[in-house]
Structure 1
Amino acid sequence: MRRDRQVLVFDADDTLWENNIRFERAIEAFLDQVVPPAPDRAAARAALDVIEAANAATHGYGAQVFLRSLGECFEQLHRRPATAAELAGFAALAATITTAEVELLPGVAETLASLAERHQLLLLTKGDRAEQQAKVDASGLAGLFAAVHIVPEKDVVVYRRLAEQHTLTPERTWMVGNSPKSDILPARLAGLNAVFIPHQHTWVLENDAELDPHDGGVLQLAAFAELGEHF
């Protein structure tokens, strides 16, 4: 049965449009350049993951932080700073993340338009404000949301603040996203319901938390379009 008159809060990256696959492609190209002197490709990727996690905690997200991580990883693997030419190559890889057109995931545009007729929709995305706003603008979806929130991080405090700001009723509010770490678990800790829609290219650092299979407040769907069957 469809739930009527709910508040649906949507994640953006890898929930509404493709995002991490761009990073993965850039990383593969980076590894093509740095692996020969490294022990092996898996070890190089593991080193980059550790560096990205540290930089995300300190500097946040986005292309510039990603570029910083590439440079630090290169220096760690090669035991020397990258040259100007090498840094320029890394910058070109990082630029591919922000220059490509926004690619909506299947069923997103039509499903959101239908949901907006019956529910209040909000957008909550984290990352670099300018980069995220550019994607929101390019997506053509902004007009479907009652409000768009771009935050540095998504944790339980952010969800509680969102609920207070919009006077949300927790039992009628659902966070929809692909990340257990940023979308599902902190929303549940804040007392909200959640809809988990896995994405095969979810960033490893966003996918390293496990959901409780017995949590009745989490609805798991296989595809975005299935939202229309429940809301």
Structure 2
Amino acid sequence: MSQLTTIGFDADDTLWQNEQYFREAEERFIEWLADFADRETLLARLLDTGRRNVVSHGFGMKTFTFSMMETAIAVSGGKVPAETLGRILDAGKQMLNHPVELLPGARDTLEQLAGRYRLVLITKGDLFHQENKVAQSGLQGLFEAVEIVSEKNKATYERAFSRHGDGPAHSMMIGNSLKSDVIPALEVGSWGIYVPHELTWAFEHAEAPAHEPRFREIGNLAELEALIEQIEG
């Protein structure tokens, strides 16, 4: 087995809360648009719109806000009140300005591993917003590098682990998204560690690659150090 020297961490819903703010805004959106469509229709239309918009506008809360406004106009046939659009815009701003809330075990885990391994933060989304969240988290000093990318795929991990480490074979990626954090890391020869979050956007769902020898799943970040010791043992 190749010696592990570099560990990559996802940020949103791995180190700090993120998806819960989308869900809270979604619930308000459903309430505001109740006169035009039922809950199931609104959720389905919003998801479809969001999937289209991330292709051209990228991931993040700004794109989600655009998607809510676009969906509201579409389901109402252009009759959505300006007041409702204003509420949607305000909800988007509240999401963007929400303080960073670290997940349990995030800081302790990073502090345990820093110095023993090269830690790299690999996150996708709006550059300005992600930079702000990294700064607010107070975790930046524990990472040797921070990569904010528009998409996470095989090329992302090949590049990041070659630039900041000894290559994918000597690296591990930790995250709550099988689709973005785990599977593409496995595909380039890294370890892929899945840490489920109770809320994960449907866009990020994928089947667990249980057949992959370098795939592991843990219940929370507090279990990571023991897992690494087991792998290296």
- Interval of TM-score (by shorter of Structure 1 and Structure 2): over 0.9
What is the letter of the counterpart of residue 35 of structure 1?
Answer: A
What is the letter of the counterpart of residue 20 of structure 2?
Answer: I
The aligned counterpart of 1:11 is 10
* Aligned residue among 196, 199, 202 for 2:197: 199
The aligned counterpart of 2:153 is 155
Using the TM superposition, give the Cα deviation of residue 100 of structure 1 relative to its aligned residue in structure 2, in angstroms: 1.4
* Aligned residue among 131, 134, 137 for 1:133: 131
Q: In 2, distance between residues paired with 1:183 and 1:43?
A: 30
What is the letter of the counterpart of residue 15 of structure 1?
Answer: T
Q: Does structure 2 conserve the Cα–Cα contact (< 8 Å) formed by 1:5 and 1:120?
A: no
**Structure 2: 5+ residue runs without aligned partners?**
229-233
Using the TM superposition, give the Cα deviation of residue 229 of structure 1 relative to its aligned residue in structure 2, in angstroms: 0.8
Q: Compare 78-87 and 129-138 and name the one that shifted more.
A: 78-87
Q: TM-score, normalised by structure 2?
A: 0.92
Q: Does structure 2 conserve the Cα–Cα contact (< 8 Å) formed by 1:177 and 1:183?
A: yes
Using the TM superposition, give the Cα deviation of residue 64 of structure 1 relative to its aligned residue in structure 2, in angstroms: 2.0
Q: In 2, distance between residues paired with 1:158 and 1:46?
A: 30
The aligned counterpart of 1:226 is 223
Using the TM superposition, give the Cα deviation of residue 164 of structure 1 relative to its aligned residue in structure 2, in angstroms: 2.6
Task: Report the count of equivalent residues.
Answer: 227
**Structure 1: 5+ residue runs without aligned partners?**
none
* 1:91-170 mapped onto 2 (5 Å cutoff): 91-170=89-168
Using the TM superposition, give the Cα deviation of residue 71 of structure 1 relative to its aligned residue in structure 2, in angstroms: 1.0
Cα displacement string for residues 117-167 of structure 1 (whole angstroms, at most 9, x for unaligned residues): 321100000000000000000000000000001011111111111123225
Q: In 2, distance between residues paired with 1:44 and 1:219?
A: 36
The aligned counterpart of 1:182 is 180
Q: In 2, distance between residues paired with 1:89 and 1:168?
A: 48
- SS of 1:26's equivalent in the other structure is helix
Q: In 2, distance between residues paired with 1:54 and 1:210?
A: 22
- 1:84 counterpart = 2:82: yes
- 1:33 counterpart = 2:32: yes
- SS of 1:212's equivalent in the other structure is coil
Using the TM superposition, give the Cα deviation of residue 43 of structure 1 relative to its aligned residue in structure 2, in angstroms: 1.6
Using the TM superposition, give the Cα deviation of residue 81 of structure 1 relative to its aligned residue in structure 2, in angstroms: 5.5
The aligned counterpart of 1:48 is 46
The aligned counterpart of 1:210 is 207
Q: In 2, distance between residues paired with 1:228 and 1:81?
A: 54
- SS of 1:25's equivalent in the other structure is helix
Cα displacement string for residues 168-189 of structure 1 (whole angstroms, at most 9, x for unaligned residues): 2333210100001110111111
Using the TM superposition, give the Cα deviation of residue 68 of structure 1 relative to its aligned residue in structure 2, in angstroms: 0.9
* Aligned residue among 57, 63, 66 for 2:61: 63
What is the letter of the counterpart of residue 10 of structure 1?
Answer: F
Q: Does structure 2 conserve the Cα–Cα contact (< 8 Å) formed by 1:4 and 1:119?
A: no
